[in-house]
Structure formats: C-alpha cells, structure tokens
Chain A
Amino acid sequence: GAGVSQTPSNKVTEKGKYVELRCDPISGHTALYWYRQSLGQGPEFLIYFQGTGAADDSGLPNDRFFAVRPEGSVSTLKIQRTERGDSAVYLCASSLGGGGNYGYTFGSGTRLTVV
C-alpha cells in the first residue's frame, strides 16, 4: 500500500483480556518496528523485524508481549492479560533496511486503553 496501515485505530479492552494489534507495512520494506508511546514520553522501542525474524526484541517489557511477522510483511503485536499500564499508543514503522541510514515510515498508531 501507499503507507503503513495499522488496525484498529482505537481499542478499548478490559484488564486481563488479550489483544492483537495489526501492522501492514509498505510493500518492499524489509524492516518493521513496533514502538509505544505513553503520555508525555517519546516513542519507546519494543521490537524490530528484519524479514520474518525478530532481529531485536529487547524492548518487549515482559513475556505478556509477543509479536510475529510470519510472511515478512504484515506483523501482529499480541498482548496477553492486559494491564492498565499497557494503555498507550502503539506505533508501527517500516523502512527499506535495518540500518539507521533509512528514515522510518510510521503508521497512525493504535490507541490502546485498558480499563
């Protein structure tokens, strides 16, 4: 597609529930990133995919968070047993390559609210 698409744009869920957030990157972009932004903070790195594999998952806060990119395009971020502290805007971005030489193209984000 023309840009990075994230769905849903908004998600309200109850504490303890499971959620999935989807990211459809720009066609041909091999690198895909997930970030989250909490109020008053800059985007915080979660995970980076190069192709189908997670090249760096050091930003995932705990084992309730998991992400996949099975065919090297669409990615899903999965959060189990959601907690109120998981409320944030989850941003996905893609780029031509994994090095810092390429600008990232971001989606509009998914605003997750855990009540």
Chain B
Amino acid sequence: ILNVEQSPQSLHVQEGDSTNFTCSFPSSNFYALHWYRWETAKSPEALFVMTLNGDEKKKGRISATLNTKEGYSYLYIKGSQPEDSATYLCAFFRGNLIFGKGTKLSVKP
C-alpha cells in the first residue's frame, strides 16, 4: 500500500506569519509529486507539479521543494494572509494520483 503522509494535520497562524508543512511519500520509483490548494466550497486548485529531485517551484508567496531520494516535499508560505486559509493537499503519482489527507491552514487576521 502506497502512503502519502502530510503533517501537521492542521495549523493556525496569525496574518503575516510564515509557515511550512511536509509531505512524505515513497522514495522508490518516483515519477511526480503534485501540490493542490482546496478552499472551502471551491474546487481543488493545482499549485505545483514537481518531477525532478531538487526541484524548487514558486508561485507568489508560496514555494515548494522536492527531495525524491529521501521522499519528502516541503510547502512554504511567506507572510500568510487570511485568503491563504485552505487545505493543502499533496499527491504522489504512481499510475494515478495518490493523495495525502492534507494540512488545513487557518490564518487569523
């Protein structure tokens, strides 16, 4: 059974704080890792698709790194804003996307 683990399960931060969370996945036969943001009452939205060890991707204040040899990826949010409140999902590709349970981020103004 392939497991994708995300931590922490939830996170509460103040506006302006920077934060990061972790996704762990099997390190063998790596193909791709995806990050999605899922806001309440909306559709999950693709943030990053990462395929190479050492990849670093950035979109505005959000960035992600990838270590395929040890099987982890970090997602960073710099200067969190209330609109960043969402569940952040990572997904490991092995024929299809296998999702973690997500990290629920709440940013207080």
Task: Tell me the A residues contacting B by CB distance below 8 Å.
Answer: 3-4, 33, 35, 40-45, 48, 56, 59, 91, 93, 99-109
Main secondary structure of the interface of A (DSSP, over half): loop
Q: Chain B residues near A33: list those with CB within 8 A.
A: 96-97
Q: Chain A residues near B97: list those with CB within 8 A.
A: 33, 43, 45, 100, 104
Q: Are B46 and A104 in contact (CB under 8 A)?
A: yes
* Option from A3, A41, A93, A99 in Cβ contact (under 8 Å) with B101: A41
Given contacts A42-B101, A100-B34, A101-B51, contact A108 B43 (CB under 8 A): yes
Q: Are A56 and B49 in contact (CB under 8 A)?
A: no
Given contacts A43-B44, A100-B97, A108-B41, 4 further A-B contacts (CB under 8 A): A33-B97, A42-B99, A42-B100, A44-B99
Q: How far is the CA of A57 from the CA of B3 in the complex (A)?
A: 19
Number of chain B interface residues as a range? 20 to 34
Q: How far is the CA of A99 from the CA of B99 in the complex (A)?
A: 16
> Ordered nearest first, which 8 A-B pairs have the shortest CB separation?
A100-B93, A103-B46, A100-B32, A42-B99, A106-B43, A106-B44, A42-B101, A43-B99
Task: Tell me the B residues contacting A by CB distance below 8 Å.
Answer: 4, 31-32, 34, 36, 41-46, 49, 51, 89, 91, 93, 95-102
Q: Chain B residues near A48: list those with CB within 8 A.
A: 96
Q: How far is the CA of A40 from the CA of B100 in the complex (A)?
A: 11
Given contacts A3-B43, A106-B43, contact A45 B89 (CB under 8 A): no
Given contacts A41-B101, A100-B97, contact A107 B43 (CB under 8 A): yes
* Min C-beta distance of A58 to chain B, whole Å: 8
Given contacts A42-B4, A43-B89, A56-B95, contact A103 B34 (CB under 8 A): yes
Q: How far is the CA of A35 from the CA of B97 in the complex (A)?
A: 10
Q: Chain B residues near A93: list those with CB within 8 A.
A: 44
**A42, closest chain B residue (CB):** B99
* Min C-beta distance of B69 to chain A, whole Å: 18
Q: Chain B residues near A40: list those with CB within 8 A.
A: 101
Q: How far is the CA of A43 from the CA of B92 in the complex (A)?
A: 12
Given contacts A3-B43, A106-B44, contact A101 B101 (CB under 8 A): no
